[in-house]
Structure 1
């Protein structure tokens, strides 16, 4: 079974625990290699199951060991959740070979204890995305760290996801569990209580889209991984009216083309709470900003929250600019090359000779505006649970081989963060959250050719129709038919919507 041992430390070496107070782990980037069954809820309440390749949704994984003797697994690192769960070897999906990042067999561990049989159930934002099984405890090592004994975990025998998740958020955001206090010591809590880190804080560097490796440093900040100022942003209340997730205030969004012209996409006075979430692939924006951005690029919707643009757009010398915190805040510039993903359509099926590629944006899900991997790849982010603060700076690309790590001490200061922005934001009003994006759905010519949209931005490259497009336009069935995502379009092998964890 192929595992991601490139990030693991077999023992406490300088590549893993370089000095007291922090723990550094490499993050391996993976593209899901197997098709997966995605449940899609229809407007009438019925549910279809669609087989999708899902090749455009990247995953960021870290290595852990669990049990005695140790069993090796790779799990998604998720800033947007707080539980560690792993797939059980007995799960039907795993028995069929669908769990290629490792499985956990409780019967092989002498330190395994069931806490609540059938009590574990976690549901993420994507429709049907639930995993369930037992709550249990066992011995955990994170990337070769000192052993954490009796770490509470979920062991999922009913799976939607093919591998586990390590949530590194607030323990107050944990899934329902048998604790009388409502929370149990999370992985973050135990990293601190065992003395591995000094504060409930860590930094995240996903690196750019062309890199295969990034890093998370529990208890530390690497000053070589960002440029400019590291700006602290007080966390905002979430939908429940409390600070229990990494919501920060977004105050401006704009697009700068290769000529240097900047187009403002957000309205005056914009102040929106957005969730920093490494478990989400896309960046999910409020409808007003998403509409302006998607139409500017001529994106077309292909269903299930996915949008497509010509693949040649990945070569555009432009940036999408996000400002946080208002006056004295920070602006993160995301190159267009970082948001145009893997190919969904070949030139034969898309009206552009470069083919159609995933556009890494979408409208909000259930009223949540989420900044996932298509944003976080361009940002260096520090998450301070103890003080309810996040800090952002522009990421320094392709610096995986450099290192200058400063320990995050006890107290309130974040190393390198000399500025604190204070603007506050709001959640999306329910009425706005239910609006449909004003972005065209994909249209087809005949039964196989998906038409590209018409950009309104100056994108610096001219559209060139493919041979397939020209042929289809002269065929007897060449009339353009407006088509929201239908069975005919899904039959072309469209990728599913955002993997939201």
Structure 2
């Protein structure tokens, strides 16, 4: 397995804090992820494995154990999916040392039981990106919890992705499985039935971009991790026409520059259903809003859903504001420093001496508008599966106290959420979902990539250097194109995403 330079391997240390009714554990940041995960699509156009996109940016992992005796792994925490699957130690990728977050050996577990041999299969967007194997049951723990026996899991024997995923969404959104009604008890179901939590609800605190750890509290809310009001938002129907994912109503998006001047990016009357999804690194907005935001920063399209801005933009004193729920709703402010991410072009291959960095936004994928990690780092979010509600507040960054955790009880109320917004949103119409955003595309001249974006926002001193120029393609000693060259290949139709790893 080839990782991008500077990749950090997940650590197998975890802080677990448990009390009657809740379970708190660390969520550990890792950079970068080298895979793109999207929904599995059937031949008839329907989706049955809702694992959402996560490109070569950041990801967030939690520690689990599987089997008896316990085998330790780290898996991506994904609020946008509902299945737990793990890589088998016998998978070819793992045998080559490519499973850097741990593996599972079924033969070493006395409690392992196959229930559908060969029945597990998830296919992702990149060519050849498929994970397949068996549906099975075994004993698991989540971040040091009490054992959960007979949890259904997917065990990937044929593996493309380097580690597994723990989905903590609605059980009605699970992938195809051998259960007669298409639904089996998920991790969230079993945390409740085992008495570890009182309600299928949890709160997520990713913390800021510079922090190594955030936290998730199953069955609890930490009132020290947010400021202002915690506002409840009724969940909206997904593409299937019913509530099965964490869609809430986004009613406004704006940008405020360093002078305090605010530019409205969303049109009047905007009411868009957006998915709160920790399994997606970027924030994917409707074409009109995304185009206005990207052009404001002078971002350019380098292919395969990736956009680049000068790295110095991470130091801009500016804010992107998202409002939810209409009257009585909540606004989350996201500093620009939280959305300008990984280095895609080193300074020597970029016109601006600060280098070219990933712009943490993109247009919708397949008609889905998603608020991923570049939004969630600035929000404190409560996900209430039992009642079809999400609650949002402004995150308080880098708070370490754990002295004010409130248990989420049985019932319908969310502790601390005294306001419920009522605005409804709609999905992106099919016709609009196929439109292309109006963002400049990087052009190719020989072996060089020419960047042509010019910011329309007042970005202060950050715009004094040129925002256009040429980035030359280079090749590593292994013969693999580096991050500067890969976008050029994408533009030439070679199907390579920026930073994709080659096996």
Scaled by the length of structure 2, the TM-score of the pair is 0.87
Determine if contact 1:201/1:385 at 8 Å carries over to the other structure.
yes
2:335 maps to: 335
Determine if contact 1:56/1:358 at 8 Å carries over to the other structure.
no
The one-character-per-residue Cα deviations of 1:155-214 (angstroms, maximum 9, x if unpaired) are: 011223210000000000000010012100000000000000000000000000000000
Segment drifting more, 116-125 vs 406-415: 116-125
Alignment of 1:235-314 (within 5 A): 235-314=235-314
1:170 maps to: 170
2:498 is equivalent to residue 495 of structure 1: yes
Aligned-pair distance for 1:489? 5.9
Determine if contact 1:277/1:370 at 8 Å carries over to the other structure.
yes
Distance 1:55 1:403, change over 3 A: farther
Scaled by the length of structure 1, the TM-score of the pair is 0.88
Determine if contact 2:36/2:55 at 8 Å carries over to the other structure.
no
CA–CA distance in 2 between the matches of 1:159 and 1:320? 38
Distance 1:488 1:217, change over 3 A: closer
2:420 maps to: 420
2:14 maps to: 7
Distance 1:468 1:332, change over 3 A: closer
CA–CA distance in 2 between the matches of 1:416 and 1:62? 26
Aligned-pair distance for 1:126? 6.2
Distance 1:178 1:468, change over 3 A: closer
2:470 is equivalent to residue 463 of structure 1: no
Determine if contact 2:220/2:406 at 8 Å carries over to the other structure.
yes
Determine if contact 1:38/1:496 at 8 Å carries over to the other structure.
no
1:48 maps to: none
**Across the two proteins, how many residue pairs are aligned to each other?**
464
Distance 1:470 1:375, change over 3 A: closer
Distance 1:222 1:359, change over 3 A: same
Aligned-pair distance for 1:377? 0.3
Determine if contact 2:449/2:471 at 8 Å carries over to the other structure.
no
CA RMSD of aligned residues (A): 2.6
Determine if contact 2:487/2:498 at 8 Å carries over to the other structure.
no
Determine if contact 1:306/1:496 at 8 Å carries over to the other structure.
no
Distance 1:419 1:123, change over 3 A: farther
The one-character-per-residue Cα deviations of 1:368-399 (angstroms, maximum 9, x if unpaired) are: 00110000000000000000000000000111
2:349 maps to: 349
1:199 maps to: 199
Distance 1:67 1:449, change over 3 A: same
1:16 maps to: 17
